Homo-oligomer: A and B are copies of this chain.
């Protein structure tokens, strides 16, 4: 069976056959912004999901895990609200999340356990259930293959723009579509307790067994959503859900898996980089590649340490080719490191190598840093493994956004 993937196409969570979506305003946010999204598969879909590893888990995360376990990974719908995280909300929070699923299930005509729930927004405040009870039927009525973008808008908090992506793969003469939407580490504005949450929902019309779907999701998330960082904090509500309903008539087996994963990776990477570009106060997308590591894990650990270093993020924000900060973070990352063989690169300019500085090249690197797409590299000189992580710069605007006092 021939398999080939095509460049990314325009589309989102409702582009794959047999999926519909909606995004409406239920009045949860203080303004009239869209705040309730619904994704429905016409037929029961196989689902794989990954949730926050935070030990403080929001009610929708706990309920979605329960439902996936009891349904055996079969999902018909996902209901998502923004404006309230339903986290740290006690027993009432659990009841409310279950009610959201049950109300959706009644309309869709499926068991409640086939509905997943996600929330993002204010922590420690209970959901306005009257608004959700009237909003869910409204969203159900608005379901359409043309409303993926509305859904992408409805899950935003202070994201500056919605994130959607889509790709196709040809599988034995049939076209498989993979589409998705995400929201990033945008914070809730004034009047609310902020919460940084990453949510992503991806759909495909391929038929994929649950174990293979799960394997693909884990593999791709590791190189996309888990390879980005805005401020290093992890939310109580993070969730990534992947649904496959088979509506294209194509089945993904071992032979088709590589091309399928490649397309899934393209979709998730575009969504993930969108989250970074839309990070609070971000003015630059920073690609950090650590090479010469003793293991992939050490390469990733070092890249994450650099990506979360305030000194690195502020230097890049200011256009300062401060290679010493990159080297110092690598030195404190707790990984194998050989200073004599280490190398630091900003763009294509080598600023430290062979155990000595090339600081006379700093002006060249400073010109490069005026751009908005920045690549920096650190070779640890200790092995052959590498890892790439993406982050954004740290601006005074970040502080302003996150220090805003709720009135």
Q: Identify A399's interface contact among B231, B329, B355, B395, CB under 8 A.
A: B395
A66 within 8 A of B: no
CB–CB A329/B233 < 8 A: yes
Q: For A406, list chain B residues within 8 Å (CB).
A: 320, 362
With contacts A194-B311, A356-B90 taken as known, whether A323 is within 8 angstroms of B124 at the C-beta atoms is: yes
Smallest CB separation, A347 vs chain B (Å): 16
CB–CB B124/A324 < 8 A: yes
Q: For A328, list chain B residues within 8 Å (CB).
A: 54, 56, 123, 195, 233-236
Decide if the interface of chain A is mainly helix, strand, loop or mixed: loop
Q: For A53, list chain B residues within 8 Å (CB).
A: 332
CB–CB B55/A339 < 8 A: yes
CB–CB A402/B233 < 8 A: no
CB–CB B403/A399 < 8 A: no
Q: For A366, list chain B residues within 8 Å (CB).
A: 405
Copy number in the complex reads 2
CB–CB B90/A355 < 8 A: yes
Smallest CB separation, A24 vs chain B (Å): 27
CB–CB B404/A310 < 8 A: no
Contact with B along A289-330 (1 / 0, CB 8 A): 000000000000000000001110011011110111101111
With contacts A123-B324, A315-B402, A395-B399 taken as known, whether A357 is within 8 angstroms of B89 at the C-beta atoms is: yes
Provide the bound-state CA to CA distance between A232 and B310, in Å. Answer: 8
Smallest CB separation, A184 vs chain B (Å): 14
Provide the bound-state CA to CA distance between A396 and B317, in Å. Answer: 13
Provide the bound-state CA to CA distance between A194 and B324, in Å. Answer: 8
Q: Can you pick out 13 interface pairs between chain A and chain B where the beta carbons lie within 8 Å of each other?
A: A53-B332, A55-B330, A55-B331, A88-B324, A124-B357, A124-B359, A193-B359, A233-B311, A234-B332, A314-B402, A320-B403, A395-B399, A396-B400
Closest 3 CB pairs of A and B: A318-B403, A123-B324, A56-B331
